[in-house]
Structure formats: structure tokens, C-alpha cells
Structure 1
């Protein structure tokens, strides 16, 4: 009997301990304490390979530090990189004279909240991998040479608060899904080569325009509210009357000129005939 009770107590203790362990794991996962996913080292290594550092702005980006960018701390010695809770939190490389492209490896920085590559010489298409950064709140790729379409994948970034893509060479329509990002407060796609209608979800809200004209201007093939309607080239009544009067006046001048020429020719012919008659009479 004692053996049975001892076994029961051991099993009950084992079960309770397992339940507690499961609860602890769930709590840690739920609160975000067990941060998993992504590979910051692979992210930054890939970026370093595809960026062209013409001004030496990324001199601190050596291969050793790239593999462990946060050094188990909430800071980093890498230029433009900040950390939080041992993960890369922001990539701020604005105005660094960088060329090349943004590597697809950026999708590995799964905890990044801010990406700023503005005012550089970057080219190529906007990486689809940016749509995998589910915690991204600010994306600034303005003042570069990006081409191609605005990827629909950016609509996955539900925390996106700032999206600035102005002064690039982007083409195609504006993804309708961007208008459904409820946290979006800054939106600028001006001075590109975008085409098609402006999504209503980006132009209107219950209190009026969500984003004003400056967010969309500089795209000749883009249309719709809040952009002003294209200029009409229809002629006004005054213009029509002016054209009519001008045409009539031109016709009158041409007719008068023709009559004058005919009279002049007739006079010369008559004078010639009179000369002949006079000569005959004299003879």
C-alpha cells in the first residue's frame, strides 16, 4: 500500500511539474520573452554584400560583428544599427552615399521596426522580403532610384505607420491594400511614374481626405481624388468666335489680294493692247 501511495505521489508531482513548465513556456511565448525567428547576422551580412559603400560609411560593418550585431546587449557598434532586447530594432542608413540594391536577406531581420535608406543611390525593385517584417512601423526609401511596382507584400506590415517612397522611378498602380493599413499616418509616393486611379481607401475617410495632394503629385499617369482633374482643352465661346473672325478675315484678305492681282494683270494687258493700237495708227 505504501508503495502504491508513493508511486501516486511521484506521478502527481511529475504531472504538476510538467503542467507548470507548459504554463511558463506559454507565458513566455505570449509576452514575447522567448524571441525566436529570423537571423539578424544573415540579414546584415546579406545587406553588406549587396550594398555599394562608395564613401566608407559602413567601415564598421566587419564580418565578425555582423554575425553578432547586438553582442547580447541592447546596443550595437555597427553604423546605423540599433538593438533592443538583443535583436536588431532599426536600420537607419539615410544619406550614406550607398549604391547597389537592398538584399532579399533583409527579411531575416524579423524584429526590425524602422528601415530608412532614404537619400542614397539605391536601384532595383523594392524587395518583397520587406513584407515579411511584420513589426515594421517605418519604411523610408525616398530619394533613390528604385524602379518597378510597389509590392503588394507591404500590405502585410499591419503596424506600418510611415511609408515614404517619393522621388524614385516606381511604376504601375498603387496597391489597394495599402489603404487598409489602419495605423498608416504618413504616406508619400509623389514624383514617381505611377499610373492608374488613387485607391479610395487612401483618399477618403469619415472626416475628409486621408492623404492630401502632396502625397500623390508628380505622377503624370495617376488620377483621382484628391488630385485635381486634368485640364480640359475644350475651346471656349470666345475662342470659337476668335477663330471664326480670324478665318473670315483671312479669307477676306486673300480674296482682296486676288482681286488686286487680277486688276493689275488686266491693266497691264489693256495697256499692252493700247500700245499696239497706237503703233498701228502711227504707221
Structure 2
């Protein structure tokens, strides 16, 4: 009888415990869409992402366990993507914004090309963005300023052009900012170059390697000297001036010589004329 009572009590406790446990998180269709589109935009010549398949995309996480190489999961959602130094080519799919729980994206040290998608603005939980050491081109999207939790923006060693968006200075949590060795131009926004208060400051190493970028904290720009066109123009102008002066001098000399010859001829004629 005692055994029966214990067994019934254990069963009740077990049922109550199961009832109180949170249901297991189901695969998120947004994550599946994000991973599928990103996989299609990437090229993996060394086959480093062998388990990046549609089957895995359909169920990439189980709680905090990830079944996908380079992915970290948090409660059944993609929390971090770290695909650095895998010799990846291709571009960054704008649909990466579907991974709405993503807090860290690291695609550094690959050979990715094309622009940085402005759609990254929809990753509202993003704290770390590292796209350094690739071949990315085009401007830095000003929409990144909408990712209010960004702590790290590392874009060094790319081929980015245009201005540094001044809106990025509004990111109060930004503690690492590196856009060195690109093709950026124009002034460094004071909201980034000369931050005030308790905001972290970025030194010249964050901006160097952009020959047309200027402003604090970079040192003053040196005089670039005369351009090739200016030198050619000055040379042509000097040559033309010399030619005009030479031509003028010859004309004056001929005029003087003509007057002298006329005066000499007149003198000869006067001597030959008889006196009356």
C-alpha cells in the first residue's frame, strides 16, 4: 500500500513539474529565412560551411544549443553569427535583417564585396558589427545609427567611400569605432572625432589610411603641392608669355633697324644732291 501511495505521489509531482516547465521554443521562420538568404549570397570555396543546409536552417537551434557552424543560439533563436577568416566570397544579403534576435555579426577577414546593406538597421538588438578586412565598397549606411545598442563598429581594411555619417555620433554605447584603411573622404564628424563627457573617444588610428579624410583627431593635412594639370598649365603659360615677349622684342628691333636704315639713306641722298 505504501509503495502504491509513493508511486501515485511521484506521478503527481512529475506531472506538476512538466506542467510548470516552459514549452520548448519552436524554430523561428525569420531565422530560417535569414540563414537561407545569407547562404545563397555567400560563396564558400573551401567548403567550411558544410552543415549550412536547408535542413539545418529549418531547425538551427535547440534552446541554447546550435546545430549550425558559426552560430550561437539563445532560447531557440540565432544570437550570434561568427564567420570570420573562412575565405568566403560573395556579398552580404539584405535579408540578414530577418535574424531579428541577432546581437553580434562577425564576417571579418574574408573576401566579401558589394555594399553594406542599410537593412542592418532592422537588427535592433545588434551590439557588435565586425565587417573588417573584406572588399566591401560604397558608403557607410547612416541607418546604422538606428541600432541603438551598437558597442562595436569595425569596418577597417575595406574599400568604402563617401562621408562618415554624422548620425553615428548619436550611438551613446559605441566604444569601438574603426574605419581605417578605406577610401573615405570629407571631414570627420565632430560627434565622433571630438566626443565629450563620458563618451569613449577614438584616436587617429580609427581613421588613418583614408587619404581624403580630414579633421580631428587626424593631424593637419600637408600641402599636396601643385597638381599635374597646374604644372602643365604654368608651363604652357610661361612658354606662351616667353613667345609673346620674344615676338615683341623682334618687332621693336625691326622697327628701330628700319628707322636707322631710313635715316642713313636720307643722309646719303642729301649728300649727293647738288647745291643751288
Q: Same fold (TM over 0.5)?
A: yes
CA deviation string 1:178-205 (max 9, x = no partner): 0110000000000000011000010113
1:203-214 mapped onto 2 (5 Å cutoff): 203-206=193-196, 210-214=201-205
Equivalent in the alignment of 1:66:
57
* DSSP-derived class of the 2:65 partner: coil
CA deviation string 1:249-277 (max 9, x = no partner): xxxxxxxxxxxxxxxxxxxxxxxxxxxxx
1:96-115 mapped onto 2 (5 Å cutoff): 96-115=86-105
The size of the alignment, in residue pairs, is 200
Q: Which runs of 5+ in 2 are unaligned?
A: 1-24, 226-276
1:31-42 mapped onto 2 (5 Å cutoff): 39-42=30-33
Equivalent in the alignment of 2:42:
51
Q: Is the 8 A contact 2:84 2:110 kept in 1?
A: yes
Q: Which runs of 5+ in 1 are unaligned?
A: 1-33, 235-283
Question: Residues 126 and 73 of structure 1: is their aligned pair in 2 closer, same or farther, counting only changes over 3 Å?
Answer: same
Equivalent in the alignment of 1:215:
206
1:90-101 mapped onto 2 (5 Å cutoff): 90-101=80-91
* DSSP-derived class of the 2:78 partner: strand
* DSSP-derived class of the 1:155 partner: helix
Q: Is the 8 A contact 2:109 2:133 kept in 1?
A: yes
Q: Is the 8 A contact 1:38 1:109 kept in 2?
A: no
What do you get for the CA RMSD once the two structures are aligned? 2.0
Report the Cα distance in structure 1 between the residues aligned to 2:224 and 2:159, rounded to whole angstroms: 29
Equivalent in the alignment of 1:226:
217
Residue 77 of structure 1 deviates from its aligned partner by 1.6
Question: Residues 35 and 155 of structure 1: is their aligned pair in 2 closer, same or farther, counting only changes over 3 Å?
Answer: farther
* DSSP-derived class of the 1:66 partner: helix
**TM-score when scaled to structure 1?**
0.67
Equivalent in the alignment of 2:106:
116
Residue 85 of structure 1 deviates from its aligned partner by 1.2
1:154 to 136, 144, 149: 144
Equivalent in the alignment of 1:186:
176
Between 1:179-188 and 1:209-218, the stretch displaced more is 209-218
Equivalent in the alignment of 1:88:
78
**TM-score when scaled to structure 2?**
0.69
Between 1:61-70 and 1:200-209, the stretch displaced more is 200-209
Residue 206 of structure 1 deviates from its aligned partner by 2.9
Report the Cα distance in structure 2 between the residues aligned to 1:227 and 1:38, rounded to whole angstroms: 46
Question: Residues 190 and 45 of structure 1: is their aligned pair in 2 closer, same or farther, counting only changes over 3 Å?
Answer: same
* DSSP-derived class of the 2:66 partner: coil
Q: Is the 8 A contact 2:26 2:76 kept in 1?
A: no
